[in-house]
A and B are shown apart, each in its own frame.
Chain A
Amino acid sequence: MNRLTLKLLRDLIASRWQFLAISLVAALGVAMYQGSMLSYERQKTSYQLSYDRLAFGDVWIALRRAPRSVVTGIARMPGVLAVEGRIAQFVEVEQKGGRRPRVVGRLLTLPTNREVTINRLRLLEGRWLGTQSRREVLLEASFARANRYRPGDRIYPKYLGKQVTFTVAGIVSSPEFIYPVMSAQFSLPMPEVFGAMFVPEEVIGPMLGMAGQINEVVLRTVPGREREIAAAVKQRLNAYGPEEPVLRAEQPSNKLLQSDLEGNKPFLVIMPMLFLGSAALAVGLVLARWVQAQRGIIGFLRASGFPAWRILTHYLGAGLLVGMSGGVLGVVLGYLMGAWFGSAYERVLKTPYTTAEGRPDIALTAFLLSVGACLLGAYGPARQAARILPAEAMRGQVPAQPRRLLHFRMPLLVTIPVRNLLRRPLRTLGTAGGVASAVILMLIAGTFRDSMEGSIAQSLDDFRRYDITVTFVPERSERFVRYISTWPGVLRAEPTLDIPVRAYHAGFQKETVVMGMTPDTRLRQVRGPAGLPVLPRPGTVLVSRALARRLRAEEGSLLRLVYPQNTRERRAVAYRHMGAPVQSIVGMPIYMPMEEARRLFASRLQMPPDAVSGAVLDVHPHYLTQIRDRLYRTDGVGLTLTYAELQRQIDEVTAFAQTFISIMFLLGAAMAFAVVYTVTDIVLWERTRELATLRTLGFGMDHLIRLVSLENLLMALIGGVIAVVPALQIARIMMEAASTEGFSMQLVTYPRSYMMALLGTMAVVFLAQWPGLRRVRRLDLAEAIRLRE
């Protein structure tokens, strides 16, 4: 090893705590990148693997009904690779054995004499349906788990008002229900209240009066021609009342999965960049101090004939080594983090097949990111070192001129730190920038937590105005709601009318739901931009902010609203201008005056007069259980959801994000400590001679602690002020990107987060200066004051 390299290694060892701290910051950035990237890729490839192995469909077309023989004709159409016909039906399902009494089931038929060719299932428990299977059912895994079903248990679907007993033959996972939602209008998975149930076609067909018939076809097509083939198949099925085809991209589960994946993307970039940026900054600060302290040596090396590039590479070498050590540690941590993220995610969503590849390419990229960031940080000081002229280095550096900006007398122990900060404003800004990077991370984590809590609280508070929400299957007349309002314990019952629609604007579209709003509503309020309750004006609709963004629409835009299951016989299309965007956390609803919703959609869709699709109830707390149970026993009531149940659903959906944010906060605090320790230690190194001189003049350690603390705390304050705007901007960008189809967050930063970031940083600053101060106390004063600055 040459002596210059030896010098570098020993210099690094001498500053080991600083460089370990920086390596740790870089390692956290690398781990963040690799962990989230591995998890992202693992999800993506797991979905793809499941889709490939289980032949996930490309196109779904719902029909009124058609003879099974149509399938044979479709199979021969050009571009169709495979086709399946099936019966798909929403039904009420009764449950026993301490489970929720009534849930909604999506019955899907399976042939028992052959294996299905599209949307195959993976058997997780029990056995397949066989030719001998009579009243047997395969349950989708999320529903089975949420409702504690095992093979051999009984379940009771209702057909045409009649309850039938089925036995659970097996538990399966399905590519159509990885994200278990009822339809495109639902955005939260609710496996407690909804489940997919696969039943033998030969049994169900006759029971539903559909023997030999189907009401849905699913296709696999030549890639790239889905839309065109779907249109041709729909055309061919025209006689059987086909609805608009649903392509794979719009399939509810797949769409939410993709949206979820997209939501993860900002984490792949912004968080690692924050950490790596901080590491680069810290490397730059430490090396700048090195270069300053080693001016004489640099001068000697240059005077001895070392060329400038050797000096440049010498100091770049420090960045390289720190980057490499951070990279190696980060790759190991990132691997563990990725595995943990992946498995935590898979506990929430039942992906039929999962992969957990090592992905050396991601590890290598992560490693190179660390090296690159640290080299970038090292470049500035290294270049400065290489440019030092030997004669100048020999002359020593003229101390920067102190600035006297404050023209009133202050105690000297205040004047010294203030002038020190003003003496080299650029360096002060650089150091404050290091502190700011830590504050930014803590503020982002705090804002994320606040926004999530605030959004959930807002969502639940809105919900809290009613205690129970009820969905009717099928739609009923408003009289039914009036009847419920007479039940004992019901304080108020308001009708709801939710109609699925596809909203179009400027070439963008989104499947969502129109909600009819009664003018005297008290239980189902919508909040306007100012946070106050608003109602849609006649002839207009109110749209959630997330949907407006999605459709690139703004106040006054004309939206086209199309019922997605339009057929030739039942058809509804409406045009409405949009009011100012409103707040909505869950889903992306469109609010319309109730009377207009009935006129434009319900009557055209042949619903009953005064149609309602459900109700919201305000009930006396003592009657809650009694009313819920009565609703379960009432015919025509499909879904009943209480406040507590909704809260549990939201908690489940956000549990992973909450954990992720907690980890981020911890890592942020760790980074804050590492960065602040590094920068305060640098300041102390630079001031060793001055502090030693003050001690020889008779100042005690308590004076020095006050002096150093004041300077560092002022620095932290500057850092804190610098941090606020970028932190909120970054949080806003991340929040917008992280909002999924199902859950959009509002940006909220509570004062507690500012306080925590500020006090946390101050505490870290105070703790981080301690090792340096101990060093000052132990200084050989005679030696220290002789040191050349």
Chain B
Amino acid sequence: MSATGTELQTTKPQLAHLEHLEKQYGEGEIAVHALQDINLELPQGEFVVFVGPSGSGKTTLLNIIGGLDRPTRGRVVVAGRDLTNLDEAGLTRYRRDVVGFIFQFFNLVPTLTARENVELVAELARDPLDPMQVLAAVGLKDRAEHFPATLSGGEQQRVALARALVKRPALILADEPTGSLDYETGIRVLQVMREVTRDMGRSIFLVTHNSEITRMADRVVHLRSGRIAEVYVNPHPLAPEELRW
């Protein structure tokens, strides 16, 4: 692991702790080491960007932090919960209570309107936000009654963001959220995500292969061949509208 020393020190409370994390697919000669000896401390309230080329292990790492996948070895603690000790039901509760997901292909339910897509998750949460307020926060108040098919890609991704936010998760995990969006729409989505961390105090872990996005991050984790190549704190995050790609 390579990190830029004291720059990583912070007074913020810790959100995620990853210790000697490894993920291996297959065994013997055909074994693929997707992650190797990952050690990370990630504080609350930050916009963290995981960046690296294809096959570097970004998504695998995100899935493990999100409780979607289990590590082969090592320990993961998120929001005080040791995921390595949780059974399937425990992981389901963890995902319900702690994390929200955003995917590259939105994965909205096509037969539910924007509002209903958000309500779908709100019904699951213990203390959800008002779905309409969340939609308003992502700039979709007027599009709430539209079905996904009638929304643009950016609007769909903002619905996905609202859907992730509505249950007040401590952590939002976004896997290539701008991957299928054009530049302007992508920027708009990133602006909303930035506001979520700034105004709502949520943490966002974003996976991308677009290194330009690292310039708006509070913290950047570079991955290469399943290992952490570099971790650093960005002292001067740019506003999303300043990014160019």
**Interface residues of A, Cβ cutoff 8 Å to B:** 2-4, 6-7, 10-11, 13-14, 296-297, 299-300, 302-308, 389-391, 394-395, 788
Q: Which of A7, A299, A308 contacts B120 (CB 8 A)?
A: A7
The proximity string for B residues 164-199 relative to A, scoring 1 for CB distances below 8 Å and 0 otherwise, is 000100000001000000000000000000000000
Expressed in whole angstroms, the minimum distance between the Cβ of B112 and any Cβ of chain A is 5
Closest to B88 in A: A308
Q: State the CA gap A788–B59 with chains docked (Å).
A: 18
Majority secondary structure of chain A interface residues (helix, strand, loop or mixed): helix
Expressed in whole angstroms, the minimum distance between the Cβ of A91 and any Cβ of chain B is 79
**Interface residues of B, Cβ cutoff 8 Å to A:** 59, 63, 66, 68-69, 88-89, 92-97, 99-101, 103, 105, 107-109, 111-112, 116-117, 119-121, 123-124, 163, 167, 175
- Is A11 touching B120 in the complex (CB atoms < 8 A)? no
Q: State the CA gap A308–B88 with chains docked (Å).
A: 9
Contacts A6-B112, A305-B93, A390-B68 given; does A297 touch B124 at CB 8 Å: no
Among B89, B117, B120, B121, the most chain A Cβ lie within 10 Å of the Cβ of B120
- Is A303 touching B121 in the complex (CB atoms < 8 A)? no
Please indicate the chain A residues that have their CB under 8 angstroms from the CB of B63 in the complex: 390-391, 394
- Is A3 touching B68 in the complex (CB atoms < 8 A)? no
Q: Which of B66, B96, B112 contacts A3 (CB 8 A)?
A: B112
- Is A303 touching B66 in the complex (CB atoms < 8 A)? yes
User: How many cross-chain pairs have Cβ atoms below 8 Å apart between A and B?
Assistant: 77
Please indicate the chain B residues that have their CB under 8 angstroms from the CB of A11 in the complex: 111
- Is B59 touching A394 in the complex (CB atoms < 8 A)? yes
Please indicate the chain A residues that have their CB under 8 angstroms from the CB of B112 in the complex: 3, 6-7, 10
Expressed in whole angstroms, the minimum distance between the Cβ of B200 and any Cβ of chain A is 18
Expressed in whole angstroms, the minimum distance between the Cβ of A120 and any Cβ of chain B is 66
Closest to B180 in A: A786
- CB-defined A-B contacts under 8 Å, sample of 10: A6-B116, A7-B112, A300-B101, A300-B103, A304-B96, A305-B93, A305-B94, A390-B68, A394-B68, A395-B59
Q: Which of A10, A14, A394, A788 contacts B175 (CB 8 A)?
A: A394
Q: State the CA gap A10–B111 with chains docked (Å).
A: 6
Q: State the CA gap A300–B93 with chains docked (Å).
A: 14
Closest to B147 in A: A10
Please indicate the chain A residues that have their CB under 8 angstroms from the CB of B167 in the complex: 304
- Is B119 touching A305 in the complex (CB atoms < 8 A)? no
Contacts A303-B66, A304-B124 given; does A296 touch B103 at CB 8 Å: yes
Q: Which of A7, A297, A391, A395 contacts B107 (CB 8 A)?
A: A297
Please indicate the chain A residues that have their CB under 8 angstroms from the CB of B116 in the complex: 3, 6-7
Q: State the CA gap A779–B85 with chains docked (Å).
A: 49
Q: State the CA gap A88–B100 with chains docked (Å).
A: 92
Other 19 A-B pairs with CB < 8 A, given A3-B123, A297-B109: A3-B112, A6-B116, A7-B109, A297-B107, A297-B108, A299-B107, A300-B103, A303-B66, A303-B68, A303-B95, A304-B167, A305-B95, A306-B96, A307-B92, A308-B92, A390-B68, A394-B59, A394-B63, A394-B175
Contacts A296-B107, A304-B100 given; does A2 touch B92 at CB 8 Å: no
Please indicate the chain B residues that have their CB under 8 angstroms from the CB of A307 in the complex: 89, 92
Q: Which 10 A-B pairs have the closest CB atoms?
A: A305-B96, A10-B111, A3-B120, A391-B68, A391-B69, A300-B107, A296-B107, A391-B63, A305-B95, A390-B68
- Is B123 touching A305 in the complex (CB atoms < 8 A)? no
Q: State the CA gap A307–B123 with chains docked (Å).
A: 13
Among A13, A305, A788, the most chain B Cβ lie within 10 Å of the Cβ of A305
Q: State the CA gap A744–B154 with chains docked (Å).
A: 73
Q: State the CA gap A478–B99 with chains docked (Å).
A: 103
Q: State the CA gap A650–B97 with chains docked (Å).
A: 76
Closest to A390 in B: B68
- Is B111 touching A3 in the complex (CB atoms < 8 A)? no
Closest to B121 in A: A304
Among A11, A304, A307, the most chain B Cβ lie within 10 Å of the Cβ of A304
Contacts A7-B112, A10-B112 given; does A303 touch B69 at CB 8 Å: no
- Is B103 touching A394 in the complex (CB atoms < 8 A)? yes
Expressed in whole angstroms, the minimum distance between the Cβ of B219 and any Cβ of chain A is 23
Closest to A396 in B: B105
Closest to A10 in B: B111
Closest to A395 in B: B59
Please indicate the chain B residues that have their CB under 8 angstroms from the CB of A395 in the complex: 59
Please indicate the chain B residues that have their CB under 8 angstroms from the CB of A300 in the complex: 101, 103, 107
Expressed in whole angstroms, the minimum distance between the Cβ of A784 and any Cβ of chain B is 12
Contacts A6-B116, A14-B111, A394-B59 given; does A305 touch B124 at CB 8 Å: yes
Among B89, B121, B163, the most chain A Cβ lie within 10 Å of the Cβ of B121
Please indicate the chain B residues that have their CB under 8 angstroms from the CB of A304 in the complex: 95-96, 100-101, 121, 124, 163, 167
Q: State the CA gap A391–B94 with chains docked (Å).
A: 15
Among B92, B119, B123, B163, the most chain A Cβ lie within 10 Å of the Cβ of B92
Expressed in whole angstroms, the minimum distance between the Cβ of B154 and any Cβ of chain A is 15
Q: State the CA gap A788–B124 with chains docked (Å).
A: 27
